[in-house]
Amino acid sequence: MIRTLILSLLVATSSSVVPAPAVADEAIEQLINELVTVSDPGFGYSGYFSGDEFLPYEGTGQIRTALLGATYRRPSIPMRKIVERGIDAVPVLLKHINDSRTIDTEPMSGMMWMEFSDEYDINHRTRREPPKGVNRESSPRNDDHPDEHALTVGDLCFVALGQIVNRNYVATRYQPTGGLIVNSPTYSKRLRDIVLADWSDLTEESHRDGLILDFKQPDWHSRRVNAYYRLSLYYPETVENVVMPLLSLPTYDSSLVYDFCKKVLYATEDRAECKRVLDEFTNKHGDVYREATREQLFGDLAGLESDEFHGFTPDPKSKDHRCRELLVTLFDQPENVLSNHRPESTVIDKFGLARLIESLTHDRVPAIGSAVRRIYQRNREDDDSYLTTACLKSLAHRGDAATMIDRLNQVRFDRLNSDGQDFDAVDAICTTSDPTVLTAIEGFAETTINDQYFTKMLAALERSGKRDPEWLWKRAIHILNGLPDATKQGQDLLELIGDRFPDRAENVYREFLAKGTTERAETMCVLLWSDHPLALKILAPLLDDERLMSGFSVPMRVCDRAATAISHRLKKPRFDSEWSLRVKDDLITRYKAECIRRSK
């Protein structure tokens, strides 16, 4: 009887557990099938920009390079949902890594050239060299490759896999000047085989441990930040133990160390003298700078190894190649030292710490909040606003209303000119969703006369559902009317009015220019610079204004500046302010005629 009952329970348990992965796989399969509907560019699959982001966390995108004005992107919802699944999605993504179904975008080609480079991101701290056959930076451009590439489901699976494992896998990206880099696992068997070899045996434990290793031994700042994002989503229980030790490390100024190594240490030939100048440097700035120097040398060694790997000839004017020699001489490293021999650091540069702290917005670990608050209090009087601003951004997401309001009370909202540190602080605080802080922000937005502060605070208020359009209109006009005649301010508010009140924008822009100052003319030219629909109507009268403007390296008349902005709308012929006066005046005359023709 008891034996029968136990067997029944085992069968019932098995029947309720075993199908779960199949159900999960089926859901991921459905999401992958939806990738064929992707019709907008995104990080990892664009021909006009490059960068990275973690799709589940809005606002984490970082553009690295881009064609001017071509940064439009829209995150794919199916891609985001796949990445959110984490380790569970990896086997299904690998199954589809050779899925040649094309997505709903036009085939891509480079404006001037394209390469099929098989780029494959690795953490150079934890893996010295990429697998053989990838990262072919010098692959020939005139080989048998096609002259265009249609993005596939397999390409997007490659990108999604990289998102999950903290590798910046990019199917297509822009490369200056006018180039397109393609890294497609559906096109390249070499790349596809390496992906499968590296990740087919991934387990939850190895995934978690790999992210922790990326955090502790990053090859650059973003690797650590991106590891935190993934740990906070996939393995939140690890975050406190991983992050807290880093927040207690002593800090150093990396620019001081860089200048010392490049200008002093590398230029010192005698080894005994090298030891002396290092002692002098650390005696002046503190012992933390000895280890910081070692960090710089290891970083330079990584760059040297990359050059050696690709067969690049060292710059004869640079002495960075001495990094290996100096690691041996000054830090007792072996003669054959490699960059991945670098020990785990017990110091951190201020920029790296700030970069991490500003990203600490996706956990609710009380100890991390307390540590960030201590760092803020310790550095708030320093000139290094980047670190304190990073702390404010983190604290803004941790419900620290007292610290936020205290900092807001120090800002002079009653002044026309913004203070740089105050502006950065307001920008960071306005990312909060804390109701107490939002109420304080609302009060400052009611009274400020500063257009830049106002537009920053407005974003926070609207995100929380506060304030109606008519209030916004009245406040915006009130602030604009309070600006002095010769002001260089107002652009943010004018842009806001154009976006929110397009039917009223033309009259506001004309009234803004009616003061007749060259400063306001410059503001309006910049506002309408990039093919703005109101450029011809608003700027045409300025084509008769020959007054000189200040702040330019070449003589710049108001009419020259207006003509340049108008040319972006007219497309042809283009206008160059460095042309001769006769050529410019002839073209301005043509622009006047064209503006009149289009106004009829």
Question: Do 59 and 139 fall within a single domain?
Answer: yes
How deeply is 257 buried, as exposed, middle or buried, from its count of CB atoms within 10 A (0-12, 13-18, 19+)?
buried
User: How confident is the model over 462-484, as a mean pLDDT?
Assistant: 89
pLDDT digits (tens, 9 = 90+) for 396-420: 999 899 999 999 999 999 999 888 8
Residue 534 lies in a domain: no
Cross-strand bridge partners of residue 140? none
Burial of 449 (0-12, 13-18, 19+ CB in 10 A): middle
Angle between helices 366-379 and 239-247 (to 10 degrees): 20
**513, 524 contact by CB (below 8 A):** yes
Domain boundary among 292, 312, 346: 346
Is residue 98 domain-resident?
A: yes
pLDDT for the residue 21: 58
Q: Give percent of the chain with pLDDT exceeding 70.
A: 94
Answer yes or no: is 113 within a domain. Answer: yes
Do residues 118 and 263 both lie within one domain? no
143 shares a domain with 31: yes
Q: Are 229 and 57 in contact (CB under 8 A)?
A: yes
Segment 34-83, tens digit of pLDDT: 999 999 999 999 988 889 999 999 989 888 888 766 778 889 999 999 99
pLDDT the model gives residue 578: 87
* 175 and 274, same domain (yes or no): no
Say yes or no: 305 and 189 in one domain: no
Are residues 163 and 57 part of one domain? yes
| 569, 570, 576, 577: CA torsion to nearest 10 | -60
Express as a percent the part of the chain with pLDDT over 90: 73
Question: For residues 596 and 536, what is the distance between their CA atoms, to the nearest angstrom?
Answer: 9
Q: Are residues 27 and 118 in the same domain?
A: yes
Are residues 64 and 184 located together in one domain of the fold?
yes
Based on the fold, state whether residues 31 and 168 are members of the same structural domain: yes
| pLDDT range class, residue 546, cuts 50, 70, 90 | very high
**pLDDT at residue 277 above 80?**
yes
Question: End-to-end alpha-carbon separation of the chain, Å?
Answer: 97
List pLDDT tens digits, range 294-305: 999 999 998 888
Q: Which of 546, 550, 573, 551 is nearest to 562 (CA)?
A: 546
Both 337 and 280 in a single domain? yes
User: Using CA of residue 492, residue 449, residue 429, residue 489, what is the dihedral sign?
Assistant: positive
Whether 428 contacts 453, CB under 8 Å = no
Give the model's pLDDT for residue 7: 41
567 within a domain of the structure (yes/no): no
Composition of the chain by helix, strand, coil, percent to 5? 60, 5, 35
In-domain check, residue 147: yes
Name the residue with higher pLDDT: 577 or 169.
169
User: Residue 35 in contact with residue 156, Cβ under 8 Å?
Assistant: yes
What tokens does 374 get?
Answer: 């201590």
What is the sign, positive or negative, of the torsion defined by CA atoms of 59, 61, 64, 69? negative
Q: Number of structural domains, the chain? A: 2
Q: Is residue 141 part of a domain?
A: yes
Final residue of a domain: which of 346, 381, 396? 346
User: Among the listed ranges 339-343, 349-353, 367-371, 425-429, which one has the minimum average pLDDT value?
Assistant: 339-343
Q: Are residues 197 and 58 located together in one domain of the fold?
A: yes
Q: Report the distance separating Cα 280 and Cα 294, nearest Å.
A: 15
Last residue within a domain, chosen from 302, 328, 346: 346
Whose tokens are 């955090």? That residue is: 215
Tell me the residue range of the domain where 335 lies: 251-346
Per-residue pLDDT of 348-382, as tens digits, reads: 999 999 999 999 999 999 999 999 999 999 988 77
- Is 25 within a domain? yes
- What's the mean pLDDT when you consider all of the chain? 90
Q: Does 138 have pLDDT greater than 60?
A: no
pLDDT at 164 over 70: yes
Q: Are residues 122 and 185 in the same domain?
A: yes
pTM of structure: 0.84
